Amino acid sequence: MAKVTIDGIEVEVADGTTILNAARQIGGDVVPPAMCYYSSLKETGGKCRVCLVKVTQGSAKDPRPMPKLVASCRTPVMDGMVVQNISSAEVLEARKGVVEFLLLNHPLDCPICDQAGECDLQNLAYEHGAAKTRYEEERRTFEKIDIGDKIKLHMTRCILCYRCTFVADQLTNNRVHGVLNRGDASEISTYIEKAVDNDFSGNMIDVCPVGALTDKTFRFKSRVWFTKPLDAHRDCPTCSGKVVLWTKGEEVLRVSARKDQYGEVKEFICNECRYDHKNMKDWVVEGPRHIERNSVISQNHYEKIDLQKLKLEVDRQLTFQKGKQLPQSNTSQA
Amino acid sequence: MQLTNRSKLVVKKEMNFWERMYLPAILGGVMITIRHLFRRKSTVKYPEKTREISSIWRGQHVLKRDDKGAERCTACGLCAVACPAEAITMTAAERKKGEENLYREEKYASTYEINMLRCIFCGLCEEACPKEAIFLTDRIVTTDYSRTGFVYGKDKLVEKVDDRIDVTKRQTLAVQEFKQQKQLSHNK
């Protein structure tokens, strides 16, 4: 076991846990954002750099600080480590810079993009980015590609998190897509546009943090905030069958896997559940899906509040607010 | 309990001869009428004459086209989610090859309806629009005998290519300032 302090909060975690996962055990505001790390896929992380944190004390034995900001999703904790996330102005400044880099080539076509409203990059830019762009050059563009007949790839929107290639690697038995070329010219390729027809290939859509991989059966059907998400399940021989139905009236517009509070899918679903059962009769509806209050999807959706749970959450946040040093507002220009 | 000193005690006393004739009272009433004849009128003879309205009057909506005549609306749904009266509905469609001069971006609104009976003309749709597609104009929504006539579709909302509606006065300072920064790549 190792004791770490993150933003003044001490937590004891198992050896080998990463800083990010230690922060997730605390929960709340101290959790660094992550665009490429995905807990249910092995080897992910270390690519997007938004989870950078400052280590002010390496360990109890060697209290020297780490010379540079480290990627919290790839750095294991040491006993006695002291980490600063939102309490460090340097981290916030660096994160702002990373968001600016991620948005350099992003087309910002949110009004068209089907991911808008549930997009990690949108949330990240809203919370950590600058309101204005300084970029004056031409953005890199790619042609739209159909990956199989159910997935549309907008390479222009991709931030190269590599999550989808890990899905292809780890969930399906033979990988048929990867990343070609290098640096600015990198692009997801299906190796001569070979169709992805594995049973679990549809999970690429769910793991994509941006709108680069979208469901063609849902393409332009509706904005997510006009749909009503319902938890549902069915008896499926290949997967757990636990899904979210995005409905409008009696019509099922889209089926997706259930994401947790960090936007990560724990139980992946098969393509049959995702694409072939767009009928309410095929599903056992459990009830409305809980949507975070700060999400645009919760607009006009009401749910019964559990008052005791709400009080616990408010108390938790209040004690947290008292115990920590509040982050400095980011004053750097543009 | 007495709240103010303005209350008057009503005395019911018998009227004298002149009061019973009612002539002074009638003349008094006629005088008031005559006095009002020479006052400035508080109404206008609509529709021959219309009242002067502000340049940022919030009247009937318009869906704008760009310089080349393509529709600006991409059916992003932000106006509908901003609308407090839930007056706006739309369905999106994908632009096909050859329609590039009709629609500005790859997605467009195949139907776009505003229920003018629901609309409260607050202008939040105009504020929410990221594409400068919807604006409220100084036109007044005309009356009708049936409710169905108040659901305005694209035929009534989209401006005609040869009959553009000027909205330059409605654009906020921030928008005008932003438009001048031509070096920014998404503003070209």
Q: Does B78 touch chain A (CB under 8 A)?
A: yes
A137 touching chain B per CB within 8 A: yes
CATH number of the domain encompassing residue B162: 3.30.70.3270
CB proximity B107 to A under 8 Å: yes
Q: Is residue B164 part of a domain?
A: yes
Q: Which of A116, A220, A225 comes nearest B94 by C-beta?
A: A220
* Cβ atoms within 10 Å, residue B123: 16
B184, closest residue in chain A (CA to CA): A136
Distance between B67 CA and the closest CA of chain A, angstroms:
20
Report CA torsion sign: A153, A155, A160, A161. Answer: negative
Report if residue B161 sits inside a domain: yes
* Mean pLDDT of the region A231-245: 92
Question: What confidence category does residue A325 fall into, taking pLDDT thresholds of 50, 70 and 90?
Answer: very low
pLDDT in tens, A149-189: 888 999 999 999 989 888 888 887 777 777 888 888 888 87
Bond from prior residue into A237 cis (ω within 30 degrees of 0): no
What are A20-63's pLDDT values in tens digits?
999 999 887 889 999 999 999 988 999 999 999 999 999 999 99
Residue type, A318: L
CA distance B116 to B59: 10
Residue B1 lies in a domain: no
Report residue A279 as tokens. Answer: 């009928």
pLDDT along chain B (188 residues), means of 10: 81 87 92 94 88 88 92 93 94 92 92 95 91 90 89 94 87 76 60
User: The tokens 């975070």 sit on which residue?
Assistant: A292
Neighbours of A82 (CB within 10 A): 19
Q: How many residues in total does chain B contain? A: 188
- b/e per residue A46-55 (b: at least 16 CB within 10 A): ebbbbbbbbb
Return the SS3 of A68: coil
> Could you tell me if residue B21 is inside a domain?
no
Q: Is A186 touching B (CB cutoff 8 A)?
A: no
pLDDT band for position A334 (cuts 50, 70, 90): very low
Task: Report the amino acid identity of residue A68.
Answer: K
pLDDT at A147 over 80: yes
Per-residue pLDDT, averaged over A98-120, amounts to 92
Nearest CA in chain B to A139: B185
Query: At residue B75, what is the residue type?
Result: A
Residue B183, domain extent: 61-187
What total of structural domains would you count in chain B?
1
CB of B156 within 8 Å of any CB in chain A?
no
Confidence of residue A321 (pLDDT cuts 50, 70, 90): low
Domain assignment present for residue B81? The answer is yes
Is B79 assigned to a binding site? Answer: yes
Q: Which domains does chain A have, with CATH numbers?
A: 2-101 (3.10.20.740), 105-220 (3.30.70.20), 221-323 (no CATH)
Is 50 exceeded by the pLDDT of residue A327? no
Own/partner pairs for A244-250, CB < 8 Å, 24+ apart? A244/A289, A245/A280, A245/A283, A245/A285, A246/A218, A247/A280, A248/A222, A250/A280
**Is residue B180 domain-resident?**
yes
Residue B91's DSSP bridge partners are: B111
Longest dimension (CA), chain A: 62
A214, β-bridge pairs: A152
A-chain residue closest to B107, CA distance: A112
- Note which residues in 211-230 of chain A have CB less than 8 A from chain B: 219-223, 225-226
**Nearest chain A alpha carbon to B77:** A223
Q: Between A108, A116, A219, which is nearest B186 by CB?
A: A108
- Residue A180 pLDDT: 80
| Per-position DSSP letters for A103-163, written without gaps between them | TTS----TTT-TTTTS-HHHHHHHHHS-SS----SPPP----EEETTTEEE-GGG-----H
Q: Using 50, 70 and 90 to split pLDDT, how confident is the model at A193? A: low
Q: Which site among B91, B95, B103, B107 would you substitute to test the A interface, given the most A Cβ atoms closer than 10 Å to its Cβ? A: B107
Whether A109 and chain B come into contact, CB under 8 Å, resolves to yes
For residue B46, is it within any domain? no
**Residue with tokens 């005008």, as numbered in its chain:** B176
| Helical segments of A155-306, H only | 163-170, 203-207, 271-275
For residue B37, being part of any structural domain is answered with no
Residue A330 — very low, low, confident or very high, per pLDDT cuts 50/70/90?
very low
Give pLDDT, residue B186: 54
Residue A331: the pLDDT is: 46
∠B15-B19-B25 over CA atoms, to 5°?
Answer: 135
d(CA A121, CA B77): 19
> How many CB pairs (< 8 A) connect A and B?
47
Contact A216, A229 (CB under 8 A): no
CA–chain centroid gap for A195, Å, is 25
